[in-house]
C-alpha cells in the first residue's frame, strides 16, 4: 500500500488560510542541529563538478547561521573546486590532508592530533574541511566513516551521485534501521553501495547519531525539508507513538493548521481544534519533533460509546513509513481501553479510503451516515456528506446501559 494515500486527512476540505505564522521545515530540523556537529563526505567523483556543490554550499550556509558545526570531507582532487565554490564562505583554516593508506597502520585513526586540529578549526569558524588523498570511492568511504566515528558526529552525511537506496520495487528507501542493513546488503551488487551500507552500520555502532545517503544535488532537501531525497539510517526505529502532552498542544495545532493549508485536513475553528487536542496521539521523531498526529474524538458521542478517528496527518517526509498505521493503531487501542463499542472515520479522498479498507489492526467496514452518531452531522453540509466514505470498526466494548 502506498501510505501517501493514508496520510492525507480523513476529511479533505478546501485550502484554508493561515491564521498565524507556522513553523517552517527548516526550523523543524535546525532545532535538532543547533550546536551539534555534522560530517559531510563527498564520495568520489562527487565534487568534480561545481554545479553539484550548489546544494551543499546552500546547506552549509544555513547550518553556519544556525551555529551548527560542519566538517566537510572531499577527495584531494575536488578540494580546490570546493573552496572556489564556497568563495568568501570558505573556512579560514587550511584543509587538513589525510592519507588513508598510510594512516591506518596506527590506531586510533584518524589520530588524536587530527581530531584536535579539526576542533581548533571548528572553534574559530564552525566549519572545517578535510581532504583524503585517494580517488578510490571505497577507500574514501572507509576513511570518512572512521573520521565520523572518531568525532561521534550527530550526523554522517554521505553524498553519492546515485542518491539514496531503492527498495525491491524500485521505490526510494526513506529509512533503514541498522538491523535491516544486512538484508539490503544481501541483495546489493554494487561494491560502492556495499561499502556505503557497511560504513553506515559501523558509524551507528560507533555512536554516530544517524547517517544520511543522498545525491549531492539533493542534500538541502534531504536535511532541511520534510520531503527528503535520500535514505536515513538509524540505530533504532526512527520514531514512536505516544499521547501528546499539553506542552505539545501548540506544535500539534501547528501541524493541524499546516494540513488545513494543504487542503488535506478539514477546516476547523480554534475551539474545534482545542476539542481534539486532549486525546491526540503524536508520532515523535527522535524524542524531538512530531512527524504525524491523530486524535480520538469521543466526548460528543459518549451516549453511544463511539469514538471518531480524526485529524490524521503525516508530514511528507514520513509518508510511506507506516506512520499513519501506527497512529491509527494507537488510537484504536485507546478506544478499547475506554471500552468504546466502535470507532469511525470519514474521508472524501479515495487514497485514505483505501487505507481504512485495508487496515489490519481493526476491521473497518464501509457504512452509511446512519451508522454513526447523529451528533456527527449537526451543522454538516449535506452535499459534503454525500461525498464522504464512512468507515466503522466495532470493538466489542461495553455498550451504553450494560
pLDDT at 373 over 90: yes
The residue count for the chain:
402
- Is residue 247 located within the same domain as residue 374? yes
Tell me, yes or no, whether 33 lies in a domain: yes
- Is residue 273 located within the same domain as residue 291? yes
- Is residue 59 located within the same domain as residue 203? yes
d(CA 214, CA 14): 35
Stronger pLDDT, 395 or 288, i.e. the higher one = 395
Q: Quick one: pLDDT band at residue 6, thresholds 50, 70, 90?
A: very low
d(CA 349, CA 7): 11
Tell me, yes or no, whether 234 lies in a domain: no
Residue 153's SS3 state is coil
Where among 208, 229, 250 does a domain terminate?
A: 229
- In this prediction the pTM is 0.75
d(CA 78, CA 83): 9
Q: What is the pLDDT of residues 313-322, one digit of tens each?
A: 988 777 767 8
Position 10 scores a pLDDT of 45
Looking at residues 367-379, what average pLDDT do you find? Answer: 94
**Which domain range does residue 223 map to?**
25-229
d(CA 153, CA 149): 7
Which residue shows C-alpha cell 570531507?
A: 73
Out of 144-153, 166-175, 343-352, 383-392, least confident range: 166-175
Where among 207, 229, 251 does a domain terminate?
A: 229
Position 24 scores a pLDDT of 62
Q: What is the pLDDT of residues 306-351, one digit of tens each?
A: 999 999 998 877 776 788 999 999 999 999 999 999 999 998 888 7
d(CA 307, CA 340): 7
- List all residues 6 or more positions away from 256 whose beta carbon is below 8 Å from its beta carbon: 265, 268, 273, 293, 311, 313
Tell me, yes or no, whether 402 lies in a domain: no
All cell numbers assigned to 313: 496527518
**Number of folded domains in the chain?**
2
Q: What is the pLDDT of residues 156-206, one digit of tens each?
A: 999 999 999 987 777 788 888 899 999 999 999 999 999 999 999 999 999
Out of 14-23, 140-149, 196-205, 237-246, least confident range: 14-23
Q: Quick one: pLDDT band at residue 102, thresholds 50, 70, 90?
A: confident
- Is residue 247 located within the same domain as residue 203? no
All cell numbers assigned to 229: 531525497
Amino acid at each position: 500500500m502506498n501510505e501517501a494515500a493514508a496520510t492525507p486527512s480523513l476529511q479533505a476540505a478546501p485550502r484554508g488560510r493561515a491564521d498565524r505564522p507556522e513553523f517552517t521545515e527548516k526550523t523543524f530540523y535546525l532545532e535538532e542541529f543547533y550546536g551539534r556537529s555534522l560530517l559531510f563526505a563527498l564520495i568520489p567523483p562527487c565534487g568534480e563538478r561545481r554545479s553539484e556543490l550548489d546544494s551543499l554550499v546552500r546547506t552549509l550556509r544555513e547550518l553556519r547561521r544556525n551555529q551548527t558545526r560542519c566538517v566537510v570531507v572531499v577527495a584531494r582532487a575536488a578540494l580546490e573546486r570546493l573552496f572556489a565554490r564556497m568563495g568568501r564562505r570558505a573556512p579560514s583554516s587550511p584543509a587538513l590532508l589525510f592519507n588513508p593508506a598510510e594512516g591506518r597502520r596506527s590506531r586510533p585513526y584518524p589520530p588524536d592530533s587530527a581530531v584536535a586540529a579539526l576542533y581548533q578549526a571548528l572553534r574559530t569558524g564552525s566549519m572545517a574541511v578535510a581532504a583524503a588523498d585517494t580517488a578510490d570511492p571505497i577507500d574514501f568511504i572507509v576513511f570518512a566513516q572512521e573520521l565520523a566515528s572518531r568525532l561521534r558526529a550527530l550526523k554522517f552525511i554521505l553524498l553519492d551521485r546515485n542518491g539514496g537506496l531503492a527498495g525491491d520495487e524500485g521505490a526510494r528507501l526513506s529509512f533503514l534501521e541498522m538491523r535491516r542493513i544486512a538484508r539490503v546488503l544481501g541483495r546489493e551488487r554494487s561494491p560502492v553501495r556495499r561499502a556505503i551500507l557497511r560504513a553506515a552500520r559501523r558509524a551507528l555502532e560507533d555512536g554516530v547519531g544517524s547517517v544520511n545517503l543522498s545525491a549531492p544535488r539533493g542534500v538541502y532537501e534531504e536535511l532541511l525539508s520534510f520531503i527528503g531525497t535520500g535514505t536515513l539510517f538509524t540505530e533504532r526505529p526512527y520514531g514512536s507513538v505516544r499521547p501528546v502532552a499539553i506542552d505539545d498542544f501548540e506544535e500539534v495545532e501547528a501541524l493541524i493548521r499546516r494540513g488545513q493549508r494543504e487542503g488535506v485536513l478539514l477546516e476547523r475553528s480554534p475551539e474545534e481544534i482545542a476539542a481534539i487536542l486532549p486525546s491526540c496521539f503524536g508520532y515523535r521523531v527522535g524524542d524531538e519533533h512530531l512527524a504525524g498526529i491523530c486524535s480520538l474524538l469521543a466526548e460528543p458521542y459518549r451516549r453511544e460509546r463511539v469514538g471518531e478517528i480524526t485529524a490524521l496527518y503525516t508530514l511528507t517526509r514520513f509518508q510511506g513509513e507506516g506512520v499513519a498505521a501506527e497512529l491509527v493503531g494507537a488510537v484504536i487501542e485507546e478506544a478499547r481501553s475506554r471500552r468504546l463499542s466502535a470507532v469511525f472515520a470519514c474521508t472524501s479522498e479515495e487514497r485514505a479510503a483505501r487505507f481504512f479498507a485495508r487496515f489490519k489492526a481493526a476491521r473497518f467496514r464501509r457504512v452509511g451516515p446512519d451508522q454513526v452518531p447523529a451528533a456527527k452531522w449537526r451543522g454538516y453540509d449535506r452535499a459534503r456528506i454525500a461525498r464522504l466514505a464512512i468507515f466503522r470498526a466495532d470493538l466489542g466494548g461495553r455498550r451504553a446501559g450494560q
